[in-house]
Homo-oligomer: A and B are copies of this chain.
Amino acid sequence: MKIDLNCDMGESFGRYTIGNDEAMMPYITSANIACGSHAGDPMVMDRTVALAARYGVGVGAHPSFPDLQGFGRRPLTLSPAEIENYILYQLGALAAFARAHGVPLVHVKAHGALANMAAVDPGLAEAIAKGVARFSKELIVVCLAGSAMIEPTEAVGLRVAREAYADRVYEPDGTLQSRKIPGSVIEEPEKAAAQVVRLVRDGVIVAHTGQEIGVQADTICVHGDTPTAIPIAQTIRKKLEEASVEVKPLGSFL
């Protein structure tokens, strides 16, 4: 049994800070690093890649729509060619910092509205995958487990890492409960860790209705920008190790 723990990182910008990247690094195995489109700038990218390299955390790109003011969370309609080129641009920019720090670029995880839209739009997912493939067919693409993003990504010849959430409540159909519903984000470390351990050991997530859903996951997303982010990550990591689950970077087993 093995699993990767990924976290969005490098989302600060100029004098603005989001998250507590250094404090999260000891608990995760993959960092999805913002590429200057929804967040991040060249200084933040340099610092964040340096941190990941120091902690042995796998470096991935976290590309998004070009929308700093909306933090990449506002749906934007782009042509497939625009998507491909925006992805290529952002991957290249981040890869330069990985190269400068002597570590490989391992994976790609789309951010915000781009990821949400690609999870249900195979054409968009294909455009993202083509952008990634134009950069390198060695990259692993993180896709929401069970989503419509997986098939087009594999069709382009890329490896997929299926992702589940530690701190989100699931609907019986395997989708995430809307953030607008109170309680849809799990804040108690023990509860989040229990969801992860159950998922990794049994391939099961328990929906808010009590129903068990089969979910195959290669990586678990933990958040770095909530008040309880550090204790949640810490507890998940500890409980996984107690359950004899190997926590290791995507690149080492996919």
Binding site for B on A (CB under 8 A): 13-18, 36, 41-43, 45-46, 66-71, 73-78, 81-82, 85-86, 88-97, 99-100, 113, 134-136
**Beta-carbon nearest neighbor of A47 in chain B:** B85
Which residues on the B side are within 8 Å of A14 (C-beta)?
68-71
Which residues on the B side are within 8 Å of A18 (C-beta)?
15-16
**Beta-carbon nearest neighbor of A70 in chain B:** B14
* Count of this chain's copies in the oligomeric assembly: 4
Asked if B74 and A88 make an inter-chain contact with CB atoms under 8 angstroms apart, the answer reads: no
Which residues on the B side are within 8 Å of A36 (C-beta)?
89
Q: What CA separation (Å) do A67 and B69 show in the bound complex?
A: 11
Which residues on the B side are within 8 Å of A88 (C-beta)?
42, 46, 96-97, 100
Asked if B45 and A85 make an inter-chain contact with CB atoms under 8 angstroms apart, the answer reads: yes
* A69 in complex: contacting residue of B41, B71, B91, B97, CB < 8 Å: B41
Asked if B135 and A99 make an inter-chain contact with CB atoms under 8 angstroms apart, the answer reads: yes
12 example contacts (A-B, Cβ-Cβ < 8 A) are as follows A14-B70, A14-B71, A15-B71, A36-B89, A42-B85, A70-B78, A74-B78, A75-B77, A88-B96, A91-B96, A92-B92, A93-B96
Which residues on the B side are within 8 Å of A136 (C-beta)?
99
**Beta-carbon nearest neighbor of A40 in chain B:** B89
Q: What CA separation (Å) do A109 and B53 show in the bound complex?
A: 30
Q: What CA separation (Å) do A89 and B70 show in the bound complex?
A: 16
Which residues on the B side are within 8 Å of A66 (C-beta)?
69
**Beta-carbon nearest neighbor of A99 in chain B:** B135
Asked if A86 and B15 make an inter-chain contact with CB atoms under 8 angstroms apart, the answer reads: no
Q: What CA separation (Å) do A91 and B98 show in the bound complex?
A: 13
Asked if B42 and A86 make an inter-chain contact with CB atoms under 8 angstroms apart, the answer reads: yes
Q: What CA separation (Å) do A88 and B12 show in the bound complex?
A: 18
**Beta-carbon nearest neighbor of A95 in chain B:** B92
Asked if B76 and A75 make an inter-chain contact with CB atoms under 8 angstroms apart, the answer reads: yes
**Beta-carbon nearest neighbor of A135 in chain B:** B96
A75 CB → nearest B CB, Å:
4
Interchain residue pairs A-B with the least CB separation, the first 6 = A92-B96, A16-B16, A42-B85, A100-B134, A42-B89, A75-B77
A83 CB → nearest B CB, Å:
10
Asked if A89 and B82 make an inter-chain contact with CB atoms under 8 angstroms apart, the answer reads: no
Which residues on the B side are within 8 Å of A91 (C-beta)?
96
A115 CB → nearest B CB, Å:
15
